[in-house]
Structure 1
Amino acid sequence: MSNARNHVTPRSFTRRKFLALAATAGVAAIAIDSALLEPNRPRVVRRDVPLRRWPEPLDGFKIAVLSDFHYDHRFSVHPIHAAVKMVNELNPDLIALAGDFVSIPIFDDDQRRAALAAEPCARLLHQMQAPHGSWAVMGNHDYYTNPAHVTAALQAEGIRVLANESVPIETNSVRFWLAGVNDVTGGSADLGKTLHGTPADEVTVLLAHEPDFVDEASRFPVDLQLSGHSHGGQVRIPFIGPLYLPPLARKYPWGMYRVGALSLYTNPGLGTVGPPFRWNCPPEITLLTLRHAPASS
């Protein structure tokens, strides 16, 4: 009789048990995806960006945008490795790196050790090639770790860091200006200084780590801003959105925006901060193709 009571029949496998099993399997699948699969599989997002002031001879100029690397040898090294190969296959004209090459230490105060991650990160990023080079700005994690050390590591590998300055990018006998501001949270971003000497009638593309800086940039003759910082939220719940967005990335957290006459693209980054998870928010390489837009468009 005891054996009969314990015998499992199809009827005893109730709907409630089935749902519990399915829920457990679903949670396990999400955990595996968010920890092992999605963070290591960058995707390429291609966007055309029409700009009214963009020179017609430069129509089709391509910029690869990457951000928020947060290099460490256990986790983020894998998507960075993958991204290097993918970027080179895209053949961009210029590479824009929107900050956060290292991470502020969470559990200790060893900023010196954290800054040392800049060297292996820079060596990897050096492998990406573009005719007009790779250009970078500092992010908040770089600033609060050791910006001088991070800058030196990047520049030793041929990656130019823009610190409140602008440079002309010339091709096909015409030019535009590439500008970069210091990290906004550090309080030293100075767009007036950055654009000093930049002709107001020529196109300016701005690198600024924090996307919400666009509200300030829209007061200046800037045509396009490229940013990161948000991680896209890192974990995005369907119908709810990101679990967390950092300050200065809450208005414009991911993708393309128009703010006045200025276009903004916020890249959701390659690496992670805190738990090394991404879910419904894959690491991204953005390939922007800049287009000359007629004045009537």
Structure 2
Amino acid sequence: MKKQLLFLLLAVVLLSSCATATLSEFPGVGRVKRYDFYSYDLPPAFDGFRIGFASDFHYESRLKKNDLNSVVRALKSVHADALLLGGDYRSKKGGNLDTLFAALSRVYTPYGTFAVMGNHDYDYCYSEVVEAMRKNHVRLMEHNSYKLMKDGQHIIVSGVRNPFDLKKNGDSPSQHFPADDFVILLTHTPDYAEDTNVSNANLVLAGHTHGGQVSLFKKYSPVKHSIYGNRFLTGWKENSQGTPVIITNGLGTSRIDVRLFTPSEVVLVVLHRVEK
């Protein structure tokens, strides 16, 4: 019986390595995944605007110090105009946050880097994350927003403070703008887009689920990181009001350092204006 269990465990580990292997040119980063987002509301000046998105580093879990150069290269490769970070920066095992954010600061974008916190950050290392962000010029969004200007036109980037504490947060920061503004809402968990009115947001970006870490057909996962089961597991989804939500698999791991059919990823979102 012990031999059978050992064989099964070995098979899972080997299968995990094979199943997450990709043709990525960035060792330690499974893939760079691109989404093209089309909208009537996007100002003409922002047609073709590129947003880099990375989340759930859990440094150092599966994501080690030796992988940081690959993460930086992957993020640089998307030629983003702005970089958004979705939270959960350090793992329970530890990981030097100054090292992580110093590496991320090497990813230059014309409009800068914007970030929200994840549940691990609130629980274990909030002050350390804040200080590391400050040192490395990352703009932390705790229920506030930034207006990105280009050729006299603008879009809004809004960030959610602790999306697991809805009572304290009140309404979504995306709701504080005129309906004709183009608003991107950054939140750690996709559940927030279902739990709260985000109808004024054109697009929501989220992480937290890790794609399940172990998943079949991008739909089924034994570990649920959402109260909605696998509904918001990974990829392009919509909430009940039809608002698009893009959920990344993230870069690190939590609980166990295994990925099966859920490659770690850096995300690129390219905005496109559609003429009415």
TM bin, normalised by shorter chain, reads 0.7 to 0.9
Do the aligned partners of 1:164 and 1:191 also contact (CA within 8 Å) in 2? no
Q: Which has the larger radius of gyration?
A: 1
Aligned equivalents of 2:177, 2:43: Cα separation in 1:
16
- Does 1:101 find its partner at 2:89? yes
Indicate which of 252, 258, 282 corresponds to 2:238: 258
* Structure 2 CA distance for partners of 1:176 and 1:81, relative to 1, 3 Å: same
The verdict on how the C-alpha distance between 1:189 and 1:156 changes in structure 2, with shifts beyond 3 A counting, is farther
Counterpart of 1:63 in structure 2 is 51
When the two chains are superposed, the root-mean-square deviation of aligned CA atoms in Å is 2.9
Distance of 2:217 and 2:176 partners within structure 1: 46
**Structure 2 unaligned residues grouped into runs of 5+:** 1-7
Structure-1-length-normalised TM-score: 0.79
Unaligned runs of 5+ in 1: 1-22, 106-113
Within the candidate set 46, 49, 56, 2:34 is matched to 46
CA distance in 1, matches of 2:247, 2:126: 22
Structure 1 counterpart of 2:15: 30
- Write out aligned runs for 1:110-125 (5 A): 114=94, 117-125=96-104
Mapping for residues 153-164 of structure 1, pairs under 5 Å: 153-164=132-143
Which residue does the alignment assign to 2:192? 213
Query: Is residue 227 of structure 2 the alignment partner of residue 285 of structure 1?
Result: no
1:137 and 2:116 correspond? yes
DSSP 3-state at the match of 1:242 = coil
CA 1:289–1:278: 2 relative to 1, 3 Å: same
Which protein is richer in helix relative to its size?
1
User: Structure 1 vs Structure 2: percent identity of aligned residues?
Assistant: 25
Aligned ranges 1:220-239 → 2 under 5 Å: 220-237=199-216
In 1, distance between residues paired with 2:201 and 2:217? 34
Q: Which amino acid aligns with 1:258?
A: E
Give the match's secondary structure for 1:168: strand
CA distance in 1, matches of 2:32, 2:205: 16
Counterpart Cα distance in 2 of 1:90 and 1:212:
27
User: C-alpha separation between the residues in 1 aligned to 2:12 and 2:232?
Assistant: 30
Question: Matched residue pairs, number?
Answer: 264
**1:90, 1:56 → 2: CA distance?**
21
Deviation at 1:86, TM superposition (A): 1.5
Aligned in 2, Cα 1:136/1:248: closer, same or farther, shift over 3 Å?
farther
Shift of 1:230: 0.3
- Measure, in 2, the Cα distance between the counterparts of 1:287 and 1:239: 19
CA shift digits 1:207-251 (9 cap, x unpaired): 100011112454441111110000001112359722212135733
- Mapping for residues 67-78 of structure 1, pairs under 5 Å: 67-72=55-60, 75-78=63-66
- Which residue number in structure 1 is paired with residue 73 of structure 2? 85
Q: What code does the residue aligned with 2:225 have?
A: P
For 1:174 and 1:54, the matched residues in 2 are separated by 10
